[in-house]
Amino acid sequence: MPSVSWHRSLRKGALMRARHLLITAIVAATFGAAASSAAAWSGGGGGSPARVNIVVSPGKTPPKPSGNTYYYKTIQEAVNEATSGDWVLIEPGTYHEKPVHYENPKRLAGVEVTSAQSGIWIRGMDRNKVIVDGQKEAGNGIEIYKANNVWVENLTVKNYDQSEECGDEACGNDIWWNGGSESGKIGAEGWYGSYLTAYDTGLLGGYGIFTNNEINGSWNNIYASGFNDSGMYLGACQNCKARISNATMENNALGYSGSNAGGSLVIEKSNFINNSAGIVPNSENPGDGPPPQDGECGRENVEHPSPTPEIKSTKIPRCTIIRYNVIANNNNLSAPAVGRGPEGIWGTGLVLPGDYADLVEQNVIYGNVNNGIVGLEYPNPFPPGPETIFFQLAGNKISGNLLLHNGYNPTYKGNQFAGDVTLTGGYSQLFGSPEPSQSVNNCVSSNWLFDATFPKNIEGTWGCQNNTTPIPGYGGIGSEGLPESVEYLLQLKGESEARHSVGQPAPPPQQTMPNPCEGVPANPLCPKA
Distance CA 412, CA 374 (A): 15
Q: Is 66 helix (H, G, I), strand (E, B) or coil?
A: strand
Distance CA 457, CA 366 (A): 21
pLDDT at residue 224 in the model: 99
Strands 214-225 and 242-245: parallel
pLDDT at residue 7 in the model: 31
Number of neighbouring beta carbons within 10 Å of residue 189 = 15
By CB atoms closer than 10 A (0-12, 13-18, 19+), residue 4 is exposed
Degrees (nearest 5) of the Cα angle 356, 434, 316? Answer: 20
Q: How far is CA 288 from the centre of its chain?
A: 14
pLDDT at residue 14 in the model: 35
pLDDT at residue 35 in the model: 35
Q: Which residues neighbour 347 within 8 Å (Cβ) at sequence distance 6 or greater?
A: 276, 277, 330, 331, 368, 369, 370, 371, 409, 492
Q: Give pLDDT < 50 ranges for the chain.
A: 1-48
Distances (CA, A) of 75 to 54, 122, 223, 345: 9, 9, 21, 39
pLDDT at residue 339 in the model: 67
* Phi, psi (deg, nearest 5) at residue 309: -65, 155
What does the DSSP 8-state code read for residue 81?
T
Q: Which element (helix H / strand E) includes 130?
A: strand 130-138
SS (H, E, C) 356-408: ECEEEECCEEECCCCEEEEEECEEECCCCCCCCEEECCECCEEECCEEECCCC
For residue 455, is the peptide bond before it cis, meaning its omega torsion is within 30 degrees of 0? Answer: yes
Q: Is 251 helix (H, G, I), strand (E, B) or coil?
A: coil
With beta carbons less than 8 A apart as the criterion, state whether 189 and 173 touch.
Answer: no
Q: How far apart are the first and last CA of the chain?
A: 55
Q: What is the largest CA-CA distance in the chain?
A: 76
pLDDT at residue 157 in the model: 98
Distance CA 472, CA 412 (A): 20
Distance CA 105, CA 92 (A): 33
Q: Which amino acid is at 126?
A: D
Task: For residue range 234-258, list pLDDT tens digits in order.
Answer: 999 999 999 999 999 999 999 999 9
* Phi, psi (deg, nearest 5) at residue 133: -110, 115
Task: For residue range 449-480, list pLDDT tens digits in order.
Answer: 999 999 999 999 999 999 999 999 999 999 99
